[in-house]
Every structure is written in structure tokens, then in C-alpha cells.
Copies of this chain bind each other. A is one copy, B any other.
């Protein structure tokens, strides 16, 4: 019996999604809870990893376990036993051929900038850019140039471990929107490389503040090499927003 669950989390205090020896990851907390519920180890499979400090409005995972009390009670059982900053809010039984990672069709991330300093109630969810002002039109010109199916090797970082991801991704959307002092960048693709969104966000930020020209992003992309040119925007501004299957 396979269950597909959706979880939101504030990643501030966790060392990312994926299980780590210290146990302070979202996967570890959920698996610890499942171990109590099912009295055995239950492994969960996420749609993908999120880094330390990255948030999710909608992360999806699946696991196999016999649960005969229906989805509502499963959600309720999965809502206790860990901090409020992790909240499972959807559960449904799915076919055995569903896989949270391999069945992904598309994902959306958003990256949140705050011009100036986000107040204490928002600072965990924005990159505060201080005095630097962004020109959103320039950012969107660059975003359009970067869209499409391409090799994004220039926008990934060495994860320090083997990942054999195909560097060719179909980036269907990369678009910034200004809401007062907040600039929200949305990125949609069939898949993302390690640190790809934060690298795109850093690069578009540099375009926004005039450090790069919009056309520069093509040269960077076509180099297919990670260079110091590409800034990695900090984790706190990043949200995994949606996963399509």
C-alpha cells in the first residue's frame, strides 16, 4: 500500500530534507514519527532534496505501509510528534507505480528577495538585499533568455557527492514580480540541478542591480561551466512551491 503525502516546512532550523547522521532533517523527523506509528523502519522518498535552510510550501513524499484508517487519520497521526515547523497536510493512497521522485513532471520554486531589510517576522523567508535595488524588467529579460531546454551546468554547484543528474533541463518559466519592496522570482522546470535555483536567483539578482547585463546570462549558460561569476543566493529566500505529477 503506497501513500503519497504533501508537507510544508520552515527549513530554518533543519539541515535540509535528506536524512543525515545528526538526525536534524525533515526526512529524519518524519521517518522517526512513522517508526513510532508502524513499529518498524519506514523509508520515505521525497520529490527531491532541499538544502539546509530551504523551505517548502509543497514537498511531496511517498512511503509503503499498511494503514487502514484512511487519509484523514493518517494526516492527523503525521501532524504530531515533531515541531510545528513541519506540517503534513495532505495524504492519498496511490498506485504502486507512483514514485515521488521519478514520477515528477514539473516543479516550481520561488525565490524571495526583500529590498532593504525584512522585518523580524519575515526575515526567515527573504534574502534582505540592503541598499541594493533590483530592476525587475532587466531580470525578466534575462529570465526569458534563459528559458527553454538547455544545459544548465553553469548554474549548478559541486554537491560534494556523486549526482548523475542530466544537466539538460527544460526551464519553462523564470519570471520575477515586484510587490512593494519584495521581489518574488518563480522558476518552473521538469527538474532542477543541485543549487540551480539559488544560482539562477543570484545571477538574476546581479542582472537586476546592474552588475551583469541581461545578455551576459547566455554567455554564462553556454560556457556550461560553473564560474565565480555566478552568485549563489542564500538559502533562506528559497521555497519549493509545487510539484506536478
Binding site for B on A (CB under 8 A): 8-10, 55, 57, 79, 84-87, 89, 117, 119-121, 123-125
Contact = CB atoms under 8 A, between A and B. Distances in A.
Contacts of A86: 120
A165 to B, nearest CB: 28
A84 B10 contact: no
5 contacts: A10-B121, A55-B121, A87-B117, A87-B119, A87-B123
A85 B9 CA distance: 19
A57 B119 CA distance: 9
B120 A84 contact: yes
A91 B124 CA distance: 24
A89 B9 CA distance: 29
Contact of A8 (B57, B84, B85, B119): B119
A125 B120 contact: no
A84 B9 CA distance: 20
A121 B117 contact: no
A14 to B, nearest CB: 11
A85 B55 contact: no
B120 A87 contact: yes
Contacts of A10: 120-121, 123
